Amino acid sequence: MNILTDTGYDEGVSVLGIVDSTVNPLWAVIALGDTPSIGWQIVGSVLTALLLAVFSFRALMRRQPPHIENGCWHCRLDLPFGGGLLHLYNRAFVAAHGMFALRSPETVYFSAAVDSSGKPLQCGSSYCIRGRDPDTRWWSLTAYKNEHLIPNVLNRYSFSKTTIGRGADGSWQIYLSPRHQSENWLPTGEPNGKLTLLLRLYNPSPAVLSDPVTVELPQILPLEKAS
Amino acid sequence: MSFELLRWVALTLVLAGTFLLVALWRFPSAVTKIYVRRFGKRLGTPPWNQLQGGALLHPGTDHVVRSSPDILNMFGVYDVSAEPARVRCFVPDWDAYWSISLYAWNTENFYVLNDRMTKPGALELIIVGPGGHHQKKGNETVVMAPTARGVIVLRAVVKNREDTEEVARMQELVQRSTITRYSETGEDPSNPRAAG
């Protein structure tokens, strides 16, 4: 039957035979109730599709697009991910998380949101970042809270190839902590917030570009385990 | 499951997929629009063919997520819908990463030039809109933009932000950069005093 009633939807035969035909049309659609009019079906479909699209978009923007993993570091080179839908996704993700980023031959970005044991970085905890100069023209390592620079008494937001204090063998350690550290201290400020690190390699060597998985990157160790 | 329900589910999934694709496609342009609008508000003038910045970022001034604290950024917006735009900038003659990047309205990075790809000193970049034409003159570098409006980001690394002398030197260099409509009379970029 397809008789349109003043309720706005069909007096159709219920699929399950148990749903009252006077219930809300949207609910009737979802609960396999009466067959609504084609108009209500379209309205229900569009609204449901919009909701699905919004949730899917939010979920996509929260998860990492295809990337390269090197220990606890993630890297998205812009070269190997091709075009089409993946390109759309990558572009939208970059717009959400790294607007106006440079291409890989200019700068390779390695980001970390977990320590070397896989635990999420926390602003209230202390870490030792231990490494050597990567194979690149210049590098810098920046700490962010909720994707923005962290206010601190030293006005220090990063260490770089130029500013890092090194040991005799060229290796270095950065102390990421809310509490004062005697050397190479990168403050993390107040304890709440999502902590992330970004290592930028400017004009990286061809070896870094061709095989970022095997590049030697710094380890991020909880301070109590680092000593 | 009835045919009507299957039809409804299929329609909903197709629509949801379409909406998602449109969202992915339009999102970067929408974000650009927001940045450009904010840029215009900060300037207090229409944002088109304007270039501003050149200060080190601090918490609160890092409007773009994950901004670099070691870079002097000049942010600008080009509009080549009526005629080409002329960007004048200066490449450092000391070893420090410097680059100029052009982004289409959809955030695609369609052009980048760094200090190792060109000579130190004055650089004149002409941005030409889609379907436009420009006869290259002198030392001009001509770039075809895929969209009539887009974003310019000029970056210069400051190796040590606590070194005030280095910061001032690089700041003086990047803040001399300008963007104008091509027909506007500009000063000679080879004259270091000209661009102020």
Domain annotation for chain A: domains and CATH numbers: 1-62 (no CATH), 67-225 (2.60.120.600)
At A68, give phi and psi (nearest 5°): -105, 135
Question: Mapping DSSP to helix (H, G, I), strand (E, B) and coil, where does residue B139 land?
Answer: coil
Tens digit of each residue's pLDDT (9 = 90 or more) over A143-165: 999 989 999 999 999 999 999 99
pLDDT score recorded for residue A193: 84
pLDDT score recorded for residue B191: 45
Q: Is the CB of B28 less than 8 angstroms away from the CB of A200?
A: no
pLDDT score recorded for residue A30: 55
Crossing angle for the helix pair A84-97 and A38-62, nearest 10 degrees?
Answer: 60
pLDDT score recorded for residue B196: 32
- Closest CB from B32, B62, B157 relative to A202: B157
| B13 vs A34, higher pLDDT | B13
**Portion of chain A with pLDDT greater than 90, in percent:** 50
Is residue B84 within 8 Å of B56, Cβ to Cβ? no
| A20 vs A145, higher pLDDT | A145
pLDDT score recorded for residue A78: 63
Across A72-86, B14-28, B115-129, least confident range? A72-86
Chain A residues in contact with B1 (beta carbon < 8 A): 32
Instruction: Inform me whether the pLDDT recorded for A18 exceeds 60.
Output: no
- Closest CB from A15, A44, A144 relative to B66: A144
* CA dist B40 → B2, B51, B103 (Å): 55, 10, 17
Tens digit of each residue's pLDDT (9 = 90 or more) over A56-75: 999 888 876 677 889 999 98
Q: Is the CB of B27 less than 8 angstroms away from the CB of A56?
A: no
What does pTM read for this prediction? 0.78
- Taking the C-alpha atoms of residue B127 and residue A179, their distance in angstroms, rounded to an integer, is 49
CB pairs under 8 A between A and B: 151
pLDDT grade for A176, boundaries at 50, 70 and 90: very high
Q: Is the CB of A202 less than 8 angstroms away from the CB of B58?
A: no
Mean pLDDT over each residue of chain B, to the nearest integer = 89
pLDDT score recorded for residue A12: 39
> Can you read off the two tokens belonging to residue A96?
């959400």
Instruction: Inform me whether the pLDDT recorded for B190 exceeds 90.
Output: no
Mean pLDDT, to the nearest integer, of B157-182? Answer: 93
Mean pLDDT, to the nearest integer, of B69-77? Answer: 93
User: Is B89 in CB contact (< 8 Å) with chain A?
Assistant: no
Instruction: Inform me whether the pLDDT recorded for A174 exceeds 90.
Output: yes
Across A25-34, A103-112, B73-82, B140-149, least confident range? A25-34
